[in-house]
Structure 1
Amino acid sequence: MARTKTAATAPSGASAKTSRNGRLSNAERSAYFARREAAKVLRLVLRGDARRRAVGSIKSLVYSPSVKNKKATYALVCQTLKHLSIIKQVLDSASILNSKWKRQEELVYILTYDILFGQEISLVGDAEKFLMLHKGAIQLALAQLLVRNKVKSIEDLMALYQTPDVPKPRYVRVNTLKMDVDSAVLELGKQFVVQKDDLVPDLLILPPGCDLHVHPLIVNGCVFLQGKASSMVAAALAPKPGWKVLDACSAPGNKTVHLAALMKGKGKIVACELNKERVRRLKDTIKLSGAANIEVLHGDFLNLDPKDPAYSE
């Protein structure tokens, strides 16, 4: 649904049209509702950022049952966020928003994205009619923004807003089924500066750019290349030895074998995976980890019967 134009001047943007006989086509109706669903998601994302407290990932918000047109909504949210700095400057320069529309700023952002970079807009809602009435001012503001920044394309303009890449540390998780954390620190410390993570006890921090793919500890499954966010999942659950755990979407298996390590190989984990190729990857990961308390289930977790004694505890 979303596409970015990169003309040498401000893009001509979307054109307005009215539906035949005053009726909406299926595409127009879909776009109308997708924009409003995207605005709701965008509001949650921006409010979460403002409070420095995540309300959920964009995907989790878009894939909630209340969102009907998930693909279009996801594309609109992502593309609007990508261009948001430009959109805000354009709207500020155009000076067209009154208090009424400022209360609906997320929908305004979505529509402004479509006017400047996205698809054709039909005059099917008050917000669409208002912004298309000011389409010329919006496009002029973008053209002036390009001139002020001495760039000729949207890509060049966006590059000015991008944060320079900062090298990220290399995270590795110690597989405590095969090796204790202190031993891993000593072994890796022969080549690298190693720190223990302050949140995940079995996670180690190494300098950026460390190539560990052929390191013996990686090859033999004593240590796994695993990011902090991924490692925090099992740590947050903190399963105890003897628990029974159902992993709904397991491949490639790093989180699954982390659960097994925290359970000290005791209890049982049912690891569900729908994709046949990913099942193979999952089994390889389990074998490498040495975990013996994981049962792989090739199938859709959503099709499991919660009344089945095997899963109803």
Structure 2
Amino acid sequence: MRTKSMRKKKKGDDACKENEAKSSKVLKGAERSAYFARREAAKVLKTVLEGDAKRRALASIKTLVYHPSVRNKKATFALICQTLKHLPFINDVLQAAKILNTKWKRQQELIYIIVYDILFGQEVPLVGDAEKYLMRHKEALHLHLKKILLQKNVKTVKELFALHEVPDVSVPRNVRVNTLKLDVDSALVELRKKYSVQKDDLLHDLLILPPGTDLHDHPLVKNGSIFLQGKASSMVAPALSPEPGWEVLDACAAPGNKTVHLAALMKRKGRIIACELKKERIKRLNDTIKLSGATNIQVLNEDFLNINSKDPAYSKVKAILLDPSCSGSGTAASRLDHLLPSKAAGQNVDMERLNKLAAFQRKALQHAFLFPALERVVYSTCSINQIENEDVVKSVLPIAESYGFQLVKPFPGWPCRGLPIFEGSENLVRTDPAKHGEGFFIALFAKKDDVNLSARSNKNDNRTLHSSTRTRNVRRKQPIHTNMFKMWLSGQLCRRHRHMLDNSCCGRN
């Protein structure tokens, strides 16, 4: 049964909503736009702050803002970013002014946004109960802001803001062409009508545009012909390079960009099992798959660790992409994590959390090697931490080798490699957040009898790899002396090709 206080609270909330609804009906033009933009921004900001407080964000700021349900994306994104940048000062002012009662504290995200507009942004139209309430205290808010300026020994808000401002890292905008819907050359023609575009020199389906290019509302993005995906993220699926017709397991699939990239590389042939534990992320995964046009993906709402590798349903899985939960330290800048209160407060690295993540990552990678038909595994993270990357790989190497796997070197011409903490770390791939926009880590394990995998990965056209089984069958049919000559010649060509690639990549990025 509801208590008297609960009924009173509900009555007050209903009255507040009724007043807000009446106010919104009489708004016109710019006033109406500002009114709804603040409330839309407040909903997103609430999700961002709750996720940051729990250290379990549902999604990044950009992902939340550019969700289809958000109507005025640009205005909402700008409003949230500016409010977060100024949030320490907004909180200080509100605490000093002591103007919030219980009613308004329940709507603190909306309060933050309106106070930002009053103190640092645009003039606030006198519409909406929250706006009217805070405008009545406008003088008190400005008075306490002046006191903070004096305490910080600065004269202007600009100088105050500069004390905490994080410099932006300008990196190109990368987009991956979804070859299930559009070929790369057609995408180039369409994008060049408005933008400066060039092809990436490593990934054939990746295009490079100038920093700051906003494509969120572009028709090719909306219809799934291109995906807004960074270069580092776009390297993961080609590192695995599954063949058309294979069965592939994406162990931690949501939001699905790498999953649909696998589908494109496999040309809709074969089967991809997209495994995702969290129900709230399944919808996003399904939306991504639907947008991509992929038809060979089966979504499985299951914990990868609970999948029985001996189950006949998984007896034909030949490749696993394992991109598990991680700290996200390599994509913190692109996700705008530096704007979050936990980062602004300068909190130290949470080693307890990192250790728990690493323990899960090791367990998941060990589990991957148990699948009987497996030929390749890619382990990747968007982290720059050794504990989640090299340390995890080093710890599972003995187990991998006992199942007949070894580390293989994807993208041989790529200059950034693993930290030299064990023999073979030169086979690992790293990307630099400052140079490449994201900090990623990639490790490729392959069955030792897949002898031509490393040589084939020298080719930068992302053509799918020939089957190791087919290669072995061809060798059986050839005379021994012919086979030996071809092996010698292949080795000479591979060494020459590798030398040329290394020289050509010295000045890259």
* TM-score, scaled relative to structure 2: 0.33
Q: Alignment partner for residue 259 of structure 1, among 237, 253, 265?
A: 237
Does the alignment pair 1:289 with 2:267? Answer: no
Question: Which letter does structure 2 place at the counterpart of 1:147?
Answer: L
- Residue 72 of structure 2 is matched in structure 1 by 69
Residues 83-122 of structure 1: per-residue CA shift (max 9 Å, x gap): 0001000111111111111111100000000001111211
8 A contact 1:83–1:158 mirrored in 2: yes
Whole-Å Cα distance in 2 between the matches of residues 157 and 98 of structure 1?
A: 28
Confirm or deny: 8 A CA contact 2:87 2:112 kept in the other structure. Answer: yes
Partners of 2:64 and 2:52 in 1: CA distance = 14
Alpha-carbon distance in 2 for matches of 1:293, 1:253: 19
Name the counterpart of 1:44.
47
Match of 1:100? 103
Alpha-carbon distance in 1 for matches of 2:57, 2:148: 32
CA shift in 2, pair 1:252/1:121, >3 Å: closer
Question: Deviations along 1:24-46, whole A, 9 cap, x unmatched?
Answer: 22111010000001011111000
Deviations 1:157-209 (A, max 9, x none): 123345799xxxxxxxxxxxxxxxxxxxxxxxxxxxxxxxxxxxxxxxxxxxx
Secondary structure at the counterpart of residue 264 of structure 2 = strand
Aligned counterparts of 1:251 and 1:42: Cα–Cα separation in 2 = 24
Match of 1:125 in 2: 128
Q: Shift of the alpha carbon at 1:66?
A: 2.3
Question: For the residues of structure 2 that align with 1:38 and 1:131, how far apart are their CA atoms?
Answer: 17
Asked if the contact 2:42/2:110 (under 8 Å) is kept, the reply is yes
Write the distance in 2 (CA, Å) between the matches of 1:270 and 1:26.
Answer: 45
Kindly state the Cα deviation for residue 153 of structure 1 after the two structures are TM-superposed.
1.7
Q: CA deviation at 1:287?
A: 9.4
Preserved CA contact (<8 Å) 2:241 2:464:
no
CA positional deviation for 1:154: 1.6
Note the 1:198-209 alignment, pairs <5 A: none
Pairs aligned (count): 185
**2:264 partner amino acid:** V
Q: 1:220 Cα deviation (Å)? A: 8.7
Identity of aligned residues (%): 52
Deviation at 1:69, TM superposition (A): 1.5
Matches within 5 A, 1:96-175: 96-162=99-165
Opposite residue 105 of structure 1, the aligned amino acid is Q
Q: Does the 8 Å CA contact 1:35/1:111 hold for their aligned counterparts?
A: yes
The aligned residue for residue 270 of structure 1 is: 264
> 1:237 matched to which residue of 2?
none
Distance 1:70 1:287, change over 3 A: farther
1:54 paired to 2:57: yes
Structure 1: segments with no counterpart, 5+ residues: 1-21, 166-218, 222-245, 274-284, 295-313
Shift in CA distance, 220/133, structure 1 to aligned 2, threshold 3 Å: closer
AA partner of residue 292 (structure 1): R
In 1, Cα distance between the equivalents of 2:70 and 2:152?
38
